[in-house]
Chains A and B, each alone.
Chain A
Amino acid sequence: MAKSVKVVSKEKAVILFSGDSGDGMQLTGTLFSDSAAHYGNDLITFPDYPAEIRAPQGTVGGVSGFQIHLGNSVIDSPGDSADVLVAMNPAAIRANASRVKAGAIVIYDRDNFTSRNIEKAGYTADPVAEEKLENCKVIAVPVSSMVKEALQDSGLDSRLVLRTKNMFVLGMVYWLFDRKLNFTEEFFDTKFADRPEIAKANKTVLRAGYDYAGSLEELAPVISIAPAGLPPGRYRNINGNTATAWGFMAAAEKAGLDLFVGSYPITPATGILEEFAARRDLGVRTFQAEDEIAGMCAALGAAFAGSLAVTSTSGPGLALKSEAIGLAVMAELPVVIVNVQRGGPSTGLPTKTEQADLMQALYGRNGESPVVVLAAGSPSDCFRFAYEAARIALEHMTPVILLTDGYLANGSEPWKIPEMKDLPPIQPPFASQDEQPFMPYRRNSSTLVRSWAVPGTAGLEHRIGGLEKTPEGIVSYSPENHESMVRLRAGKIARVLEKVPDLQVYGEDSGDLLLAGWGGSGGYIVSAVKELQSEGFSVSFANFNYINPLPGNVREVFSRFRKIAVAELNTGQFAAWLRSQCGGFGYEQINKVQGLPFTTKEIREKCLKILEDI
């Protein structure tokens, strides 16, 4: 970069890459975020893409976006609106104009703003004027022409040439944020090791975009965002689905068990099964079942046979698995069901995020059928809670439902890599061959957990199943036995409390308003809470990861605040759960069901309204 270029320092920025679903925006965003994470920024990403693999070209329905919020300190959410928007076509302007900050930089591919594409996006003439983006710094770039020029001697056909357009804009954004290209160049050298001409073309175009940006006076100044000074250690970028799969692999190794995964592909959970399937080197046994039910049932069979058993799915799949989860409750076998929540009901919004499966997780089975429910709070947090879900399932002989969501699944952030030796031990209650006669439902008197007798072990032969049994394992329709067993199963889940840490409060321990969130929306809420706190409002925040059982100190924490508001991406399911489990508080609600995460602004405005009434 020329020395004369002016540089401004910023604390954080939001970049939004947006284009047709075939424009490679997900890769572009991933490359930028990997590079930024490697540079030392904290960040959170939010990929947002349509359910169709290739929706009609140039339409708003086909727009695929990748949002990155990066900063020089801890970043909690992908951010509300963009400081930089890269739009590969007019539809990308249409889809994102409302998410652009005043004064933002908008870079668009002028070659793609043909009258046909403009019309397809629903504009009559000039999208920039129609969206009133005059107060933005709008940079029209002839991306296609520049790419063709850069690769005119490459010998590649025009289709391959134009597929590198995303690297041109990535190069421009690298220049804008004063980033080096080497991290991304190495990526191409590795990815296309056997097709060097493709690696070279991408690197050439990346460099061309970078140099072109440097030649544009109107793009300056360069934005400098310093490293975040994260705690010392070894880091990597990780998304929620990968973190989830890895958490179970770590748990299996710690417990000394084989890992069995029975799953059926379903958006947005498929990435978990793919991660597992790639790990034959760690001995993971994946079984792509014929349907969701078979995935769950095979996992249950593997649990009976002594493996750490997992099934991964999304809401519609959880519905199909519910009868078999009930069997797991009755058989008291350890199995973890991961539900990557998406917009529902029914097929709903497959690629969009929501938190509306909470009631299904808690209650979606016939009979009195309690299970442990956990919810991960951030993409990397999925590792911790997958591990924890496995630990609880194995040590308490129960199904555990782990809730993540579409945002966590696809979103990524830098993660301080843990060491296996630091993770808590996992000790399943294997039956001893001395337990004679073996009774499948004899329980540990303090935890109410039964012991695990694995087929192949002599002397522990026994029969279990969905019919109600006596503690000896004999089928029984006795009214007294049934009630006793129902209460014992519930008591066993309640006693998982010994593993549930106290609820932590972010901010003051008492005050006017406590915002309560759960799972994946915590990051958005905390951004708003930070703003409000800095303005002097008495607002604190608590995020729940343990849903059933709830932490033991909830009532005590809640009683120190004048108001409690529950913020969640549904119409009030966690609020209803709190009312039933922890009544006596007038729970306010902050809800959103648009298939999108909260924005900081939304939370902030709702909080201000609640605070007005205090």
Chain B
Amino acid sequence: MAALDSYQYTAEDLKSPQEVRWCPGCGNHAVLNAVRKALIELGMPREQYVFVSGIGCSSRFPYYMNTYGFHGIHGRAAAIASGICIANPGLSVWQITGDGDALAIGGNHFIHVIRRNINMNILLFNNQIYGMTKGQYSPTSEKGLVTRTSPFGTIEKPFSVGELVMGGQGTFFARTADYNMSLSTGIYVEAARHRGTSVVEVLQNCVIFNDGIHDVVTGREVRDERTIVLRHGQPMIFGKEGDKGLVLDGYRLKVVKIGENGISAGDILVHDKKEADPAIHYLLAAMRYPEYPVALGVIRSVEGKTYEDGLEEQITDIRKGAEIKSADDLLNSGPVWETGH
């Protein structure tokens, strides 16, 4: 094993020789930088990382990391990554995907990897559009969006990433925005340290085909009022003045103003990402503008046995006292007989 200090990388150490070919101004550049920062903070040897992707703009990501990387086929990165995780549970496996790759063609693999709780990190770049094929609507496009394949507006309701994760009994869900380097870096580090499937939705801007799609929520002027950064153990407070908060009103969340209608700071919900019951996490993940602020931060992070641990335990258990220990044992098991002796 190499000396520990050799894992203290610089961003330069994590750059591959491949030229980065995303459009200037694309949100992906910031995500790439934040992920490199996260890896520096994690301090693991770079040969332990595997970046796996499908097809789409975000899926070029593995080419730009000086780690192991596998650029797969459309929608299938979760399945490829599952094989890598199960074959070698010691690796740190990252799936880089987009809203089309993960939720349209790859929707089946996405829900099943979450259900199995395979120990990998899924960074889902959500720009609500197909960029690589030049601007068609995606499964997360808002209803009514006019695109090249919906010239009269879409007639489909969008998927919400967080709700799918909760539906798949996910153990980790976080949301961040491409421009927010410090929030993103912290979330990627936490996602990597979580044992199980960590899904991070990145609100990412496609500068060419869907420019500014998140601005209504995350634009510089409005983001304090229209987003809330959730921190474990902290009250759910937001707003430029820090005067707004979330309370539970019956079965629903409600936005309140502290100091109005008898609401005090003590009435505001305190975030508990470790709560096993996903009900509140679901409500938080599902919050949409304009009724609610959009939640950023780690919304859910609970313990759950990983698929790999379950499998390794089963193998270890069954090997104890097993009669068949080798291929020769197997071939000679059950009814066998000798002839010619």
In angstroms, Cα B328 to Cα A254, docked, is: 11
Q: Is the CB of B336 within 8 A of A280?
A: no
The reply on A536 being an interface residue by CB < 8 A is: no
The reply on B63 being an interface residue by CB < 8 A is: yes
Pick from B47, B71, B327: contact of A461, CB below 8 A.
B47
The reply on B18 being an interface residue by CB < 8 A is: yes
Q: Is the CB of B82 within 8 A of A459?
A: no
Q: Is the CB of B328 within 8 A of A420?
A: yes
Q: Which residues of B contact A475 (CB under 8 A)?
A: 18, 63
The reply on A283 being an interface residue by CB < 8 A is: yes
Residue of B nearest to A280 (CB): B318
A:311-364 near B, CB below 8 Å? 323-324, 326-327, 331
Q: Which residues of B contact A331 (CB under 8 A)?
A: 70
CB distance from B236 to the nearest CB of A (A): 36
B:264-314 near A, CB below 8 Å? 311, 314
Pick from B71, B83, B328, B338: contact of A465, CB below 8 A.
B71
Q: Is the CB of A249 within 8 A of B47?
A: no
Q: Which residues of B contact A34 (CB under 8 A)?
A: 335
Pick from B73, B90, B331: contact of A456, CB below 8 A.
B90
In angstroms, Cα B87 to Cα A260, docked, is: 7
Q: Which residues of B contact A258 (CB under 8 A)?
A: 87
The reply on A253 being an interface residue by CB < 8 A is: yes
Query: Given the known A-B contacts A235-B336, A280-B314, are A461 and B68 also in contact in the complex, defined by CB atoms under 8 Å?
Result: yes
Q: Which residues of A contact B17 (CB under 8 A)?
A: 474
Pick from A227, A234, A461: contact of B338, CB below 8 A.
A234
Q: Is the CB of B83 within 8 A of A236?
A: no
A:443-467 near B, CB below 8 Å? 454-467
B:55-98 near A, CB below 8 Å? 55, 62-63, 65-73, 76, 78-88, 90-91
The total of interchain contacts (Cβ-Cβ below 8 angstroms) comes to 213
The reply on A401 being an interface residue by CB < 8 A is: no
Q: Is the CB of A260 within 8 A of B86?
A: yes
Contact with B along A275-302 (1 / 0, CB 8 A): 0000111110101011101110111111
The reply on B50 being an interface residue by CB < 8 A is: yes
CB distance from B128 to the nearest CB of A (A): 25
The reply on B341 being an interface residue by CB < 8 A is: yes
Q: Which residues of A contact B338 (CB under 8 A)?
A: 232-235
Q: Which residues of B contact A143 (CB under 8 A)?
A: none
Q: Is the CB of A262 within 8 A of B47?
A: no
The reply on A56 being an interface residue by CB < 8 A is: no
In angstroms, Cα B17 to Cα A474, docked, is: 8
Q: Is the CB of A297 within 8 A of B68?
A: no
Query: Given the known A-B contacts A299-B83, A458-B47, are A237 and B335 also in contact in the complex, defined by CB atoms under 8 Å?
Result: yes
Contact with B along A541-585 (1 / 0, CB 8 A): 000000000000000000000000000000000000000000000
In angstroms, Cα B16 to Cα A324, docked, is: 25
CB distance from B68 to the nearest CB of A (A): 4
Query: Given the known A-B contacts A232-B341, A463-B16, are A455 and B327 also in contact in the complex, defined by CB atoms under 8 Å?
Result: no
The reply on B48 being an interface residue by CB < 8 A is: yes
Contact with A along B24-36 (1 / 0, CB 8 A): 0000000000000
Q: How large is the interface on A (under 10, 10 to 19, 20 to 34, 35 or more residues)?
A: 35 or more
Pick from A231, A297, A306: contact of B88, CB below 8 A.
A306
Q: Is the CB of B319 within 8 A of A300?
A: no
Q: Which residues of A contact B315 (CB under 8 A)?
A: 280, 283, 285
In angstroms, Cα B341 to Cα A305, docked, is: 46
CB distance from A291 to the nearest CB of B (A): 6
In angstroms, Cα B327 to Cα A253, docked, is: 7
Q: Is the CB of B47 within 8 A of A463?
A: no
Query: Given the known A-B contacts A233-B340, A461-B67, A463-B18, are A301 and B327 also in contact in the complex, defined by CB atoms under 8 Å?
Result: no
CB distance from B234 to the nearest CB of A (A): 38
Question: Chain A CB within 10 Å — which of B51, B63, B66 has the most?
Answer: B63
In angstroms, Cα B62 to Cα A309, docked, is: 23
Q: Is the CB of B63 within 8 A of A250?
A: no
The reply on B252 being an interface residue by CB < 8 A is: no
Q: Which residues of A contact B69 (CB under 8 A)?
A: 462-465
The reply on A120 being an interface residue by CB < 8 A is: no
Q: Is the CB of A458 within 8 A of B82?
A: no
Residue of B nearest to A281 (CB): B322
The reply on A518 being an interface residue by CB < 8 A is: no
Q: Is the CB of A285 within 8 A of B311?
A: yes
Residue of B nearest to A262 (CB): B83
In angstroms, Cα B332 to Cα A418, docked, is: 9
In angstroms, Cα B320 to Cα A280, docked, is: 11
CB distance from A278 to the nearest CB of B (A): 10
Q: Is the CB of A281 within 8 A of B324?
A: yes
Q: Is the CB of A287 within 8 A of B47?
A: no
In angstroms, Cα B341 to Cα A233, docked, is: 8
CB distance from A287 to the nearest CB of B (A): 6
In angstroms, Cα B46 to Cα A462, docked, is: 11
Query: Given the known A-B contacts A297-B80, A461-B67, are A38 and B47 also in contact in the complex, defined by CB atoms under 8 Å?
Result: no
Q: Which residues of A contact B48 (CB under 8 A)?
A: 455-456
Q: Is the CB of B327 within 8 A of A294?
A: no
CB distance from B139 to the nearest CB of A (A): 18
Q: Which residues of A contact B108 (CB under 8 A)?
A: 290-291, 294
Q: Is the CB of B88 within 8 A of A246?
A: no
In angstroms, Cα B62 to Cα A467, docked, is: 12
The reply on A304 being an interface residue by CB < 8 A is: yes
Pick from B16, B72, B83, B327: contact of A282, CB below 8 A.
B327
The reply on B151 being an interface residue by CB < 8 A is: no
The reply on A40 being an interface residue by CB < 8 A is: yes
The reply on A480 being an interface residue by CB < 8 A is: no
Q: Which residues of B contact A505 (CB under 8 A)?
A: none
Q: Which residues of A contact B326 (CB under 8 A)?
A: 253, 282, 420
Query: Given the known A-B contacts A230-B339, A290-B108, are A458 and B83 also in contact in the complex, defined by CB atoms under 8 Å?
Result: no
Residue of A nearest to B55 (CB): A466
Q: Is the CB of A306 within 8 A of B340?
A: no
CB distance from B244 to the nearest CB of A (A): 42
Residue of A nearest to B92 (CB): A455
In angstroms, Cα B53 to Cα A297, docked, is: 12
**Could you list 6 examples of A-B contacts with CB < 8 Å?**
A297-B76, A297-B79, A327-B73, A461-B67, A461-B68, A463-B68
10 smallest A-B Cβ distances: which pairs? A232-B340, A465-B71, A301-B83, A298-B83, A297-B79, A463-B69, A281-B322, A302-B87, A294-B79, A305-B87
